[in-house]
Amino acid sequence: MVAQYDDEVGDLEARGADVVVNLYEGAGATIAERAAEATTGGL
């Protein structure tokens, strides 16, 4: 999930989102890193 605002991140995680990134915090690199973590179990 992509959150537009910082306060949305915790809410989305609480609702069960596996990966949440803030749109304005380097979303491209963060999405790639978190996707890799989610699919490899953090290896």
1-43 pLDDT, tens digit each: 888 898 999 999 999 998 888 888 766 777 788 888 888 875 6
Tokens representing 3? 């959150």
pLDDT at 43: 61
Question: What does the alpha-carbon distance between residue 20 and residue 43 come to, in Å, rounded to a whole number?
Answer: 19
